[in-house]
Structures are given as structure tokens and as C-alpha cells.
Amino acid sequence: MSFQYAFSRPTSGHEEEIALIESYLQAGYAGLQLKWNQYTPYLHNPEQFIARWGQPEGIASALITGGTLLDDESKNQLRQLYSFAEKVGSEIIVYCHAISRKDIQSDQIAKYASIFEEMGKEAKQHGLQLSLHHHYDQPLMYREDFDIFFDEIKDASSVGLTVDTAHLVKSGIYDVAEVIRSFAPYINNFHMKDFAHGDYQILGHGEIDFKPIFEAVKQIGYNGWISADEESGGSVSQGLQECIAFMKSGLGE
């Protein structure tokens, strides 16, 4: 069994951005999952993105974005991103549903599912996968929210799930392996991230027990993207090196 390893990390300033983009392949990753500010300057001009960075393998394998999808403006923004993603060779749009969990009731989560499925079908027309990133204080926060949302999905091929280990734990869902097994048909991306004392940590530096998580990933026969989502504030080089070593060791590669 082999996996596609990716790396994702916020960058502050030009030097960190260059270090990230020039180092990920050498560090052993197959792709980057770009944060919002790393690609939006080129959103209206994908040719400029290509001219700036070239077309190394996986440079924009996934684009991380967010919004509400509750009005035409939000939907059109996502459609614009589909066009950009298609031109720069992306595979996945990772979508954070930017609505506070405190502001909604459970029945609203079910309504969001049909909207997300609609936009997922449009993504497929562009050769893309739309993947919902559950998140602390967003609609899919509690364990029951997952059941409500995915019970409404009619076409599983139109809706993906990005499992984020740290956001599950931060939200009080400690049995990450159970979530992986229960929603295996939808999972098309992982964000591996450690957590301790209320803060994100470099993989292996926090308190999350990854052994059952890695076992569950292998148990479901997953062979897609697994990204280190490095938001600890450490250096680019440290994150690149330590995260891939941790993932490969834990997954038996």
C-alpha cells in the first residue's frame, strides 16, 4: 500500500513561501495543499501563477478555501476557484464551512449537505473533488453532526471528507479511528496534525495517539492524499522533515 504525501503550512512573507515551494519535492512529498493567501493573488490570472512557480509535480495538488455556500456570491466564488484549480492542475478543493456551530441547529446541517453535494457535482465537471474539512466551531464539529450531514448525501462520489486529526480532538472527538472507519466511503484527504495544551504541534510533538489512527487508515484500504497540516509555528524545514518521517514511520513505509 502506498500513499500520496502532501504538505500544507501557512507562510508569512516571501522567504517562507519560496522555502516551502522549492523544498517540498526534495523532502519527499508528492504535493502541496496551498493555503488561501498562497494562491489567491493569482486567482484571476492562473497563467501568472504558472509563470511565477512553474509546474512542478503537485505544486497545487489541493487548494484550501472556505465560505458559507448560502448565497449566489459564495457559490460563484467557489466556481471561480474551480476554474483556477483546473488550469493549475489541482485535484482537490478542501472546503472549510465558515459558519459558527454556535449559530446553527442540527436541522440546518442537513440542509447544508444538499448544497455541498450540488457544488460537489459541479466540481466533478472540472475534474476536481470537493472535500469538506470539518472544523472546530464549524457545522461539522460534534460527532453527531457527521451522521446528520452524511445521512443526507445521495451521491457519495460528489462529496469528499478531509479528516483533520487535531480538529477532531479539539472538538472533543477523541476516537479519531472510529470516524475514519465510519466515514471511509467519503474520505478523500487527511490533514495529519498534532495537538496539545490547546495548541497545534508538529507531528509527534503533541498528545494525540496516532497509532490507532494510522491503523485505521490502513484498515480501510486508503491510498489517496495524506497531508501534514503543519500549523505549529515551527520552521518550514523542520516541519517538512519531521512530518514526513513521522507519517511514513507510522504507516509502515
Q: What count of Cα atoms within 13 Å lies in the side-chain half-sphere of residue 228?
A: 30
Report CA torsion sign: 114, 116, 119, 121: negative
In the block, residue with C-alpha cell 484527504: 189
The backbone torsions φ and ψ at residue 183, rounded to the nearest 5 degrees and listed phi first, read -115, 25
H/E/C letters for each residue in the chain? CCCEEEEECCCCCHHHHHHHHHHCCCCCCCEEEECHHHHHHHCCCHHHHHHHHCCCCCCCCEEEEEECCCCHHHHHHHHHHHHHHHHHCCCEEEEEECCCHHHCCHHHHHHHHHHHHHHHHHHHHCCCEEEEECCCCCCCCCHHHHHHHHHCCCCHHHCEEEEEHHHHHHCCCCCHHHHHHHCCCCEEEEEECEEECCEEECCCCCCCCCHHHHHHHHHCCCCCEEEEECCCCCCHHHHHHHHHHHHHHHCCC
- Architecture per CATH, 4-250: Alpha-Beta Barrel (3.20)
pLDDT of residue 75: 98
Which triple of cell numbers denotes residue 116? 455541498
Residue 1 clears pLDDT 60, i.e. is over it: no
pLDDT tens track for 42-61: 999 999 999 999 999 999 99
pLDDT tens track for 55-92: 999 999 999 999 999 999 999 999 999 999 999 999 99
Q: Read off the amino acid at residue 241.
A: Q
pTM, whole model, 2 decimals? 0.97
The backbone torsions φ and ψ at residue 110, rounded to the nearest 5 degrees and listed phi first, read -60, -40
Mean pLDDT calculated for residue range 92-109: 96
pLDDT of residue 87: 97
pLDDT tens track for 9-28: 999 999 999 999 999 999 99
Residue 237 clears pLDDT 90, i.e. is over it: yes
Give the rounded percent of residues in the chain with a pLDDT score beyond 70.
Answer: 100
Q: How many C-beta atoms lie closer than 10 Å to residue 28's C-beta?
A: 14
pLDDT of residue 88: 98
Number of residues that make up the chain: 253
Mean pLDDT calculated for residue range 231-235: 94
pLDDT band for 253, please (50, 70, 90 cuts).
confident
Mean pLDDT calculated for residue range 134-138: 97
- Of 187, 161, 141, 166, nearest to 229 by C-alpha is 166
